[in-house]
Chains A and B, each alone.
Chain A
Amino acid sequence: MIIDHPLLGPRDAQEFVYLGDADLINRPDWQAEDAADAFHDYLYLRDNPAGVHRELWYHEQGDRSWLVVTRDTLTHEISKVELARDVARAQGRGR
């Protein structure tokens, strides 16, 4: 697979480490009433879709940026690659 890095251009997927569902950047509020349940679901449950999947890849053998890659789990086709930083900022998070 080739991942089209937003800053570096097309890179071989071998340069990356895979983490999992991109929802992992949405860490629950630890002070919420239901924090224990929310963290259980956050840590251990997955949608695991057959089809379009947004997921986190880390460019370990490159610029060490985290990417949010939109990829089809049935065909391995990659339709979108974003910097995780930008995704978080668009949600109004981060500095």
Chain B
Amino acid sequence: MRYSGWRVIKEALTGHKGWTPAWSDPEPKDHYDIVIVGGGGHGLATAYYLAKEFGQARIAVLEKGWIGGGNVGRNTTIIRSNYLLDGNEPFYELSLKLWEGLEQDFNYNAMVSQRGILNLVHSDAQRDAARRRGNAMILNGSDAELLDTDGVRAMYPFFNFDNARFPIKGGLLHRRGGTVRHDAVAWGYARGADMRGVDIIQNCEVTGFRIEQGRVLGVETSRGYIGASKVGVAVAGSSSRVMEKAGMRLPIESHVLQAFVSEGLKPLIDGVITFGAGHFYVSQSDKGGLVFGGDIDMYNTYAQRGNLPVVEDVIESGMALIPALGRVRMLRGWGGIMDMSMDGSPFIDRTSVDGLYFNGGWCYGGFKATPASGFCYAHLLATGRPHEVATAYRLDRFRTGHMIDEKGQGAQPNLH
């Protein structure tokens, strides 16, 4: 069923009796050409593009719980293309371009809102870094504007500009960045994939891989064995646990990132803002809640909840930037498990097992990458070659010295 304004009106006039489920609930078949492990944003996007752009058929997405119940449902919904390094920026620019056409492409309202992202700077050195980053973005087809203090003041007069320790000296504005309704991304991709014949199989946990003579033959699941010519894993947050079943150790640690929502407020913040002197970013949802977050909790964990010191740190940073937040009550907080990689950049690559592919290590940047991750992973699965903007995301890059270390922190995952 195609969604449109006319359909909404027609259904409204006929008692909403014509709506059909957005995706079906098929029984797993014995064998598929391609099995995607993980029914999150990236897995569903991969299946969607495999069917739509790469002409593949007989595809299944296996999800241990319900689709979209992992990190695509537990993020701060920000999309952006403001990376510095050559290995990253063309990829994220492709992602942002896909976001821009996504709703028309998969005929689903994902509420893509390009409301602009402002990264604040507080010193001359930060301004230099912002200028360099902005130039790198422009060179890769993205957009960037360097604002001075007055430029920032015109946008957000309520900042604490004269903070004694971290005065606001300007900011890098990325107008095409913004936010998206995150659940709708998973649902839109799922519906689009289902319409093109992809089997989306929920409550189907992969418990092992059947590998013979260095080649993957299929996956063992909680709903029986499923054969597959190719298996693509996309389970960021649980990557180490799943790939361990194939005998692999990954350059990844799992960490928890917390995020928070305030009570609903009248319109206050119309874009996305990041504080440059601490780790704090904030936007306002369409329901009016301020959505904000900061650092990860710094220790390995698989618990989807964090500890109080980080809550305090995030809110202190928020207060330093926007003193008015002191009157706002926090409604809820949550934690999502991140694949923190050794250089802060992701992987989209084949593995040492023939037919087994890996997508993960998204750190806390997985949501914005969803369309390009799916597109490039589909390219790799369908053609056997990496997409041209994802050639740097190799699993062996630490061995060869080709790290993509945006922050220059070295092999210390909790610092990226």
- Which residues of A are in contact with B by a Cβ distance under 8 Å? 1, 12-14, 17-21, 40-41, 43-50, 53, 55, 71, 73-76
What is the CA–CA distance of A74 and B73 in the complex, to the nearest angstrom?
20
| Main SS class of interface, B | mixed
Q: Is the CB of A45 within 8 A of B309?
A: no
Contact with A76, one of B250, B251, B253, B301 (Cβ below 8 angstroms): B301
- Which residues of B are in contact with A by a Cβ distance under 8 Å? 238, 240-241, 249-254, 298-303, 307, 309, 342, 398-399, 411-414
Contacts of A45 in B (CB 8 A): 249-251
Q: Is the CB of A44 within 8 A of B299?
A: no
Q: Is the CB of B298 within 8 A of A18?
A: yes
What is the number of contacts between chain A and chain B, taking CB atoms within 8 Å? 68
What is the CA–CA distance of A46 and B309 in the complex, to the nearest angstrom?
26
Residue of B nearest to A43 (CB): B411
Q: Is the CB of B399 within 8 A of A48?
A: no
Residue of A nearest to B399 (CB): A40
Minimum CB–CB distance for A72 against chain B, Å: 9
Given contacts A18-B298, A44-B342, A46-B240, contact A13 B307 (CB under 8 A): yes
Minimum CB–CB distance for A39 against chain B, Å: 10
Contacts of A55 in B (CB 8 A): 299-300
- Going nearest first, the 4 A-B pairs with the smallest beta carbon separation are A48-B240, A44-B398, A50-B302, A45-B249
Q: Is the CB of A40 within 8 A of B300?
A: no
Residue of A nearest to B413 (CB): A20
Given contacts A18-B414, A76-B301, contact A48 B307 (CB under 8 A): no
Q: Is the CB of A73 within 8 A of B303?
A: yes
Q: Is the CB of B249 within 8 A of A41?
A: yes
What is the CA–CA distance of A72 and B411 in the complex, to the nearest angstrom?
23
Q: Is the CB of B252 within 8 A of A48?
A: yes
Contact with A75, one of B300, B303, B307 (Cβ below 8 angstroms): B303
Q: Is the CB of B301 within 8 A of A47?
A: no
Given contacts A20-B412, A48-B250, A48-B253, contact A43 B302 (CB under 8 A): no
Contacts of B241 in A (CB 8 A): 48, 50
